[in-house]
Structure 1
Amino acid sequence: MIAAPTASLNVNTGVNTSNSNSDDVRQLIERYQAAGQGHLFNFYDDLNDDEKAKLVSQLEALNVERVNRIHQKATTCPSPMLNNQSATLAPLPEECFDSVLEASKDKTQEWRTVGLNQISQNKVAVILLAGGQGTRLGSSAPKGCYDINLPSNKSLFQIQAERIFKLQQLAQQQPGAVANVIIPWYVMTSGPTRPATVAFFQENNYFGLSSDNIVFFEQGTLPCLTFDGKIMMESKSQVAVAPDGNGGVYAALRGTGVLANMAERKIEYLHAYCVDNCLVRVADPVFIGYCVSKNADCGAKVVRKNTPDEPVGVVCLRNAAFNVVEYSEIDEDVAHATNPKNGQLLYSAANIVNHFYTTDFLNKVESFEGDLEYHIARKKIKTVDMQTGDVIAPKQVNGMKLEMFVFDVFPFTERMAVFEVDRREEFSPLKNAPGTGVDCPETSRRDILQQNVRFFEAAGGKVVVGEDDIQAEGTPTLELSPLVTYSGEGLAEIVAGKSIKTPVRVHSLEELKRAVF
């Protein structure tokens, strides 16, 4: 960091710089002026020493030339589907696509065994994209802390941690398993959510997992820009920044030392997912096993579109490369096109941000990072008037945030695998405020409880709805902790031919044995 300046006028820039560090500060100013961003020093002389040091430190760490390149790329190379008439779509090749909805039980079990074997050798880790806040849910806490009102009042973080715990136990039972099966959990936060996320894990004793195997790291940021590419300031001494999108995970993995940590642990395969999916099968052995069997370097788990017009991105080929194409980029005829072999939609692989990677692939991202697409989000951004110094809270859109999407690496894969799963079993996102009826806390709660009923009944048990069970949307209140079962396994020997009365919450297999009759 450059020390705070004290006095001495720089005639060339009109900015006061320190005697001891005048050359360093002068060079920084000249660098920003050459990049067309010299306005960031407009109020430098108004600042106290601490504020000057803060601004200089931030600008010294910022790669202003890279910011200019990103803005140039984002504004001159927009989406090929919207602006390039030669862009063509094609369905997914059959050889890279399989569906658990169509696969035999034997095939699914084969994939599961392959995945469990990899986990049992400590070759699998998990990346959690957890940078979002629960603002739309009426909460200022990180979204993973949210309680969807299960009988247990478990947060999303706890549900997912318990799935990891249970899966470690299942993998430990595999022939030839290492002495201590571990699935490291790499949790990506944003700057604002990191302190609260770490504190939440600490307060809850890491939900039974070892703190040594949970690694927190922050996604990167990019400056907010005016529409002509000028960096905005949120105060006279600080640049306005915003998270660089979930696609920033790749640079963050590298820059925070996570990839090096994976190398030390000899991790070969990664499962990445978003925190807001209450049904996510963390480190899903079936998905891992499928991708490993395909020798894939990158994989995407998808669900089948409900209707041709469902507003979801679709995994398909764009200009012969794998991509996620947004629903707004697909014309109506293409959206309704069907496969003559089975009558299903040709473009039905809905993206759910649930991915597989090899560590080799993640290490290669740096080599093509400069070719990745940046997306513009036009926003109302609180900023400083660069003439008057007044802080402006705009009523209309006044700038842009640049972000990358996690699927932007798909076109650069060499061996892609796309795996379709049952939406009802694996995808229930938490996006909207309570009471909205779609992708909200009530639907998340419902979907977990309904899945637990299916698990119980598939194992040969009967669910008896008690008179005091206040059901939401007709769903019996049966909560089976992930510590009891990961995906329905291990229940039959306890519940087959037996009943359970709701409302009931079961935390362990011993509790389950006592609850059935």
Structure 2
Amino acid sequence: MPAYFDFLLHGLALARTRKMLSFEQVKRSLENAGQPHVLQFWPELCEGDRESFLQELSQLDLQGLRDHCEGAAKAAASPSASLDQYVEPVPPQSIGSVRKSDRDSLAAWENEGLMQISKNRVGVLLLAGGQGTRLGVQYPKGMYNVGLPSGKTLYQIQAERIHKIQELADVKHGSKCTIPWYIMTSEFTLAPTEKFFKEANYFGLEPSNIFFFEQRMIPAVTFDGKVILQGKGKIAMAPDGNGGLYQALRDNMVLEDMKKKGVEYLHVYCVDNILVKMADPVFIGFCLYKGADCGAKVVEKAHPAEPVGVVCRVQGISQVVEYSEIQPETAELRGPGGELVYSAGNICNHFFTRAFLQDVAEKFEGQMKQHVAMKKVPFVDTRGNQVKPTNPNGIKMEKFVFDVFPFSRNFVVFEVVREDEFSPLKNADGAATDSPTTSRNSLLAQHCRWAMAAGAKLLDEHGNTLPTTASVSAGDNTPAHCEISPLVSYFGEGLEPLLKGKTLPTPFILDKKQAEELQAQKHFSDEQSTM
């Protein structure tokens, strides 16, 4: 896509240094851009609202606005080109797998990852700039409580996983390590996220090790190329997609902070995955073993038509191909064993070296592909009435975090088990998938499996024994309410000494305090048995 998008963003980057234009200057620029309607309600605005609106308009690159609007409309009207003749699977030598790798390899990768964590070389980076529109909430997704017995939010679960993986690395290597947490927000999510963390006392993490930063915003546009007014004196703005990360790293001096802290490797993930393994040492170790500068976790597609992007190659270059960009007959291709040829479903869970991020930010960011997103954008109509559309009415231009894969010198893929590591929260309850209910059930089912694998017997509310480990899956409609705090176990480890031989009525919450009590009981029992 033309450079107008980056030209527009460049104008936005100058916002803080650009003085406010006069009304006549703004009016003339909007007319030249073909957007005079932006000022249609100017006579109705009070003095304060006029000043705020003029300040907002002064911060836009008004010279690049025409190209942005026309380009967005043209891109939305252009059908996606089919890539079938150019696609091929990622070669086997670039793929690792939790399911297919032997135990020794998995253990070696985990040990390598834990060693790097113990040396303070690993950071995690959270993509949290999107709005929870589909979820139906007016606050950041990370603050959402999916209804777990503990009442924990996504942010708290993730913070506690950072605590635990630091602890595991410390115990193994006798260190006192830190995993910095970089959190990319947007105009909509920055203030509430910072407030939420502060009120939660940063979930016990050091505030100096949590770095909040903001991605850029760009105007939303109608299908005929007109800037959308959110209010009489307010343009509808939208984050520039999670691929806005790379520009935001530069804008906010994030890479400099990483270098100062000694961070060499980054785990990047989306806020809405309740099963995400923070700073997963196995994934990090695998990527380092392969000498990769960029890696992607994937899950096997549930079926050929599942609407997820596929990690593959296009004319020899690694990238994500959207499900709409290949024909059904290509998506349905199967190998000799009956497996899907294009099965590597992208889950927005990535490994990057800091050096690679530096290269992208400095050399490649302007070359990234751009995508059209059709959205339901609230607006004011020509009479000034507020309208909440029921169908998509606007275009938001986005870049995606995975659009940097083609710039990698050594790209790898790591397949994980969906039931263990991927259950996104996107839709409100009532939807068939990716809802609070499905997210909650995924976590509870996983914890049931952990408890049973540790040798515990779980009872339902009527005192009946629950099915064996093999029967408990994320697809169960009503898994037992068995929740294990991340402060107790990162990924099912360390539970056998606490739970083996125990009969546990559900709902059951194993938090840190209860784990300590169970440990004390075990020590007492051991002492009694030796007397």
What TM bracket, shorter-length normalisation?
0.7 to 0.9
- Equivalent position amino acid for 2:456 in 1: K
Q: Which residue of 2 aligns with 1:513?
A: 519
**C-alpha distance in 2 between matches for 1:384 and 1:110:** 58
What is the aligned counterpart of 1:476 among 472, 480, 488? Answer: 480
Kindly provide the CA deviation profile for residues 463-501 of structure 1, in whole angstroms up to 9, marking residues without a partner as x: 231545799845233211111110122223343455444
2:56 is aligned to 58
Question: Partners in 2 of 1:380 and 1:479 — Cα distance?
Answer: 37
Name the structure 2 match of 1:212.
208
Identical aligned residues as a percent:
46
3-state SS of 1:352 partner = strand
In the TM superposition, what is the alpha-carbon distance from 1:419 to its structure 2 partner? 0.5
Counterparts of 1:309 and 1:22, CA distance in 2: 51
Aligned to 1:368, the other structure's residue is in SS state helix
CA gap of 1:362–1:497, structure 2 versus 1, over 3 A, is same
For 2:201, the aligned partner's letter is N
- Equivalent of 1:462 in 446, 456, 460: 456
Aligned pair partner of 1:164 in 162, 165, 171: 162
Q: How many aligned positions are there?
A: 491
Is 1:347 equivalent to 2:342 in the alignment? yes
- Taking structure 2 as the reference length, the TM-score comes to 0.83
| 8 Å Cα contact 1:506/1:512 also seen in 2 | no
Match of 2:493 among 480, 489, 496: 489
1:265 is matched with: 261
**1:415-444 deviation digits (Å, cap 9, x = unpaired):** 111100011110111222224453222222
Structure 1 residue 345: deviation in Å? 1.0
Alpha-carbon distance in 1 for matches of 2:393, 2:56: 23
Given the superposition, is the C-alpha separation of residues 381 and 478 from structure 1 closer, same or farther in structure 2, using an over 3 Å criterion?
closer
**Relative to structure 1, is the Cα distance of residues 234 and 82 closer, same or farther in structure 2, using a 3 angstrom cutoff?**
closer
Q: With structure 1 as the length reference, what TM-score do the two structures score?
A: 0.85
Measure how far apart 1:260 and its partner are: 2.3
Q: Of the candidates 159, 162, 185, which is equivalent to residue 189 of structure 1? A: 185
Matched, 1:429 2:424: yes
Give the Å deviation of 1:320.
2.2
Once the two structures are superposed, the pairs formed by residues 162-311 of structure 1 within 5 Å of their partners are 162-175=160-173, 177=175, 180-311=176-307
Deviations 1:274-318 (A, max 9, x none): 111111101111111111222212111000012222222111112
Cα RMSD of the aligned pairs, angstroms, is 3.0
| CA–CA distance in structure 1, aligned partners of residues 224 and 76 of structure 2 | 16
- Cα deviations across residues 439-458 of structure 1 (Å, max 9, x unaligned)? 22222222212212222233
Whether contact under 8 Å (1:478, 1:502) holds in the other structure is yes
Secondary structure in 1 matching 2:348: strand
Residues 69 and 226, structure 2, Cα contact 8 Å, conserved in 1? no
Tell me whether 1:445 sits opposite 2:429 in the alignment: no
1:148 is matched by which residue type in structure 2? V
How many Å separate the matches in 1 of 2:252 and 2:242? 15
AA partner of residue 60 (structure 2): L
Report if aligned partners of 2:125, 2:181 keep a CA contact under 8 Å in 1. yes
Alpha carbons of 1:137 and 1:390: their partners in 2 closer, same or farther (altered >3 Å)? closer
Name the CA distance, whole Å, in 2 between partners of 1:271 and 1:312: 21
SS in 1 for 2:183: strand
* Matching of residues 11-50 of structure 1 within 5 Å: 34-37=32-35, 40=38, 47-50=45-48
Contact 1:32 1:38 in 2 (8 A): yes
User: Is residue 81–residue 87 contact of structure 1 (8 Å, CA) maintained in 2?
Assistant: no
Read off the aligned partner of 2:418 and give its amino acid letter: R
Question: Matched residue of 1:272: which SS?
Answer: strand
* Counterpart-to-counterpart distance in 1, 2:334 and 2:460: 45
Q: Distance in 1 between matches of 2:32 and 2:63?
A: 9
Matching residue of 2:396: 401
Secondary structure of 1:140's aligned partner: coil
Q: C-alpha offsets along residues 155-199 of structure 1, whole Å, 9 cap, x if unaligned? A: 11111111000011011123363xx31111112223222222222
**Correspondence for 2:470:** none
Shift in alpha-carbon separation, 1:430–1:125, aligned structure 2, 3 A: same
**Alignment partner for residue 114 of structure 1, among 112, 115, 121?**
112
Residue in structure 1 matching 2:410, options 393, 410, 415: 415
Q: Return the alpha-carbon distance in structure 2 between the equivalents of residues 187 and 22 of structure 1.
A: 30
Asked if 1:376 is matched to 2:372, the reply is yes
Match of 1:4 in 2: none
Give the letter for the 2:329 counterpart. D
How far does residue 152 in structure 1 lie from its aligned partner after superposition? 1.1
Q: Tell me if the contact between 1:429 and 1:444 (Cα under 8 Å) persists in the aligned partners.
A: yes
Task: Describe the shift of the 1:198–1:515 C-alpha distance in structure 2 as closer, same or farther (beyond 3 A).
Answer: farther
Residue identity opposite 1:174 in structure 2: K
Higher mean displacement: 403-412 or 55-64: 55-64
Instruction: Give unpaired runs (5+ residues) of structure 1.
Output: 1-20
1:80-116 CA-partner distances (Å, limit 9, x unpaired): 9933678611111122111111001110111111111
What's the CA shift string for 1:240-287, capped at 9, x where partnerless?
212222222222222123222222212111111111111110111111
Q: Classify 1:74/1:297 alpha carbon distance in 2 versus 1 (closer, same or farther; 3 Å).
A: farther
